[in-house]
Every structure is written in structure tokens, then in C-alpha cells.
Amino acid sequence: MATFKRNALGRGLDALITMDDVKTSGSSSINEIELSKIKPNPDQPRREFDSDGLAELATSIRELGIIQPISLRQVDDGTYQIIAGERRYRASLMAGLTSVPAYVRTAEDETMMEMALIENIQREDLNSIEIALTFQKLIEQYELTQERLSERIGKKRATIANYLRLLKLPAEIQMGLKNKHIDMGHARALLSIDDPAMQLRIYELIQENGYSVRKVEELVKEYSSGEGNLKVISKTKPAVREEYDLLKKHLSSFFKTPVQFTCNQSGKGKISIPFKNEEELERLMAIFDQLK
């Protein structure tokens, strides 16, 4: 049974999605499973779940129920581990459900991680760093080559290699990519530079000036060719940056949330004040009301 599943995974995403939609016997069966018996998959590649999105899904589930069953496998102690659908599981708990419809599959640990990864990539739920870390874990834990992993999950080897290269970037840039402060195009351009300090400097410029991918590629090209314009990039303004950092810390302390502050060389910029939920937004609005 495991061999059948493994071959199906090797054919790519379409094979998995097709089976997920229509196959309810043999390698899987559909059942109503108590939520108290379901456990998240510790190898789930997705680590963060948007609270607002979960609340919206929970409301939908209360009104319409679970439209697409989650995928589980039964473990030795009689409980079930999630293969795909942890977001639906969390929203069902929020909605007050006691059980959910689920496909109960036969899956080995390695196949489970592959299935969770594929399901999230298909839905575009993972950010680039989460995908890269999961690729790395699959390769290390199961001693796979990039070529073998490519066959197993239906992704080109070059695609896997490009994701893994992201893990060579400085941690600050990886966090920026994870939090969508930059995109994959920016990151690929920065990977053309071997100097981590220069990578960080250009990353700072992206934050300050909102540079496009094309602009970053131009800066990287200038640096690689040693052209004079890179003196501007290498040149920092410690006093000014220190003032900006102090102001950023002051605003973050005042609003009790990590304020984002950017300013370009011409003096233009923006201040962003993030909030996690409706209650925090109301708290911030109350502060503004007091300032009036």
C-alpha cells in the first residue's frame, strides 16, 4: 500500500490531488473523527496560522460545516495524526465542533511529510523559508539527494536548489523573506553576492527605499563589477541611521508594538504601526484619540 502511494507522489501534484478528491477506499477511507483524538503533525511545514483567517474559516465552518475533509493517519495509540488540513482542524476547534469528516490514510512518516508539504505548496500556504526548511529536513532526515526529492514531490531539481540556497542568506534577510518584506526575486539577486555584510546593506536599502527587484539586480551588478556607484551603497550614515533607530525604538515603546520606520536619502519615508487583532487596533485608536 505504501508503494502505491509513493509511486503516486512521484508522478507529481495532480496525482495526489486526484486521489484526495475521489479515492475513499483502499489506501484511504472517509470517516467522522472526534477532534479530541486528532493530533497535529509535528513535521507540518507550516508554522504560522493567521488568527484573522482562522476566525473567518471558523465562522464559515459553523455555518456550512467542513467542505473538504482533512487527511489523517491512525497511529498506534488509537489517535490520529494530521497529514493535511491542520488549518481546518484548528478552525473546527474554534467553531466548537466535536468531530470532523476525514480521510483516514495509510502513510509512512516520510510520505506524511511529503504529503503535508505538497498540500501546502499546492495551496500556496507556505512562505519561501518554510518550504526551504522542509526541503532541507526531508533531504537530511531521509538521506535524499536533490534529484530524488525532485522525483518524490514533482518539483524540478533547480527549483529545490533555489529554495535551499535561501538558507545561506543572513538570518535577518531570511526573516524579511518570511515576513514578506522582500520577495524571492530580491532574495535571488542578493544570493549573487558572497559578502553577507553587503547582502545586509542592500537589504537595508530595499527596506528604506522600496527598491524593485530590477533595481536590486542593478545594484548587485554594480557591486560585482566594482563600479563607482557602489560607493553609495557601501557608504553608511551612522549618525542619521542612529537617529532613525532611536526614533523607531521610541515609537515602538510608545505604541507597545514593533513600529516599522523607513526613510530614503531624500528624506521621504513612512511609518507603519502593525496590529495583530481587532482588540489591538482599538487600543491603538484609543492612543490616537488621547493624542488629539
Residues 6+ apart with CB under 8 A from 139: 145, 146, 149, 164
Coil, strand or helix: which one is 192? coil
How many of the other CB atoms lie within 10 Å of CB of 219?
Answer: 23
Distance CA 200, CA 189 (A): 12
Q: From residue 138, how far is each of 52, 80, 98 by CA, in Å?
A: 31, 22, 33
How many of the other CB atoms lie within 10 Å of CB of 43?
Answer: 18
Residues 6+ apart with CB under 8 A from 267: none
Distance CA 60, CA 58 (A): 5
Distance CA 107, CA 2 (A): 6
As given in the structure block, the three cell numbers for residue 174 are 531570511
- Decide: 51 and 82 in contact? Cβ < 8 Å: no
Options 86, 114, 119, 130, the catalytic residue = 86
Runs of H (alpha helix) within the chain: 2-10, 13-22, 51-64, 86-95, 109-123, 128-141, 146-153, 157-165, 171-178, 184-190, 196-209, 213-225, 230-234, 238-255, 278-291
Q: Tell me, yes or no, if 86 is annotated catalytic.
A: yes
- Decide: 43 and 113 in contact? Cβ < 8 Å: yes
Residues 6+ apart with CB under 8 A from 123: none
| Active site members | 86
